[in-house]
Amino acid sequence: MSQIIDTNNLPKHIAITMDGNGRWAESKGKLRIFGHKNGVKAVRETVESAAKIGIEFLTLYAFSTENWDRPVSEINALMALLVSAINKETKTLMKNNIKLCTIGATDNLPSKARNELLEAVAKTKGNTRMTLILALSYSGRWEILNATKKIIADCINPNTITEQTFQQYLTTKNVPDPALLIRTSGEYRISNFLLWQIAYSELYFTDTLWPDFKKEDLEKAILDYQSRERRFG
């Protein structure tokens, strides 16, 4: 990179919609799962790069509630890949002092995937360098509806509900809102991701398909963020 990242002006929290695995695989005459497997490599490089740069929170949109509508064969392959990736990458997270968390309806995941996930979360809970958040079986609308149901169940007086009250019922209640949202693959959509939290996020879109997303792409997005004048309101 010809420009140097200003470490005093980093986005505290970056969220990424990892899009383009299927198209990447199809462009090479391969099945979609081939793209997902190579997408794991991009995850590893992005997570390690973000930690080295000094990002405090990184959220990756790994599996949406809408993804359950995909063919059963693809879902099964994705769940198997999730288990395999967690097994392999937990050591990397420990080596890099990275804490793993999840958001979403993870109870809907197959028991093997859910158990592997819980084990990795437990193993890494003491790590302090960066927090990696996987959005699994997640969508922004699901989260808002889920928070609303909990507020109703707690019989909260509607007249006392503020933005801060509502935020405490979100799955990200202990996480700052993303300062930067990145979406790969050339699509210009939010796709039901962190709808409440990205109200004032800077949006960055790149044509790069997720398996091709490298450290340089992350740095380019951060430099673009640092070139902007952030406004709230």
Active-site residue set: 19, 67
CA distances from 142 to 87, 105, 107 (A): 28, 9, 14
Q: To which H or E segment does residue 203 belong?
A: strand 202-205
- Which residues lie across from 181 on neighbouring strands? 15, 203
Distance (Å, whole) CA 25 – CA 73: 16
**Residue 46 · residue 210 · CB < 8 Å:** no
Nearest to 48 by CA among 231, 218, 230: 218
**Residue 47 · residue 214 · CB < 8 Å:** no
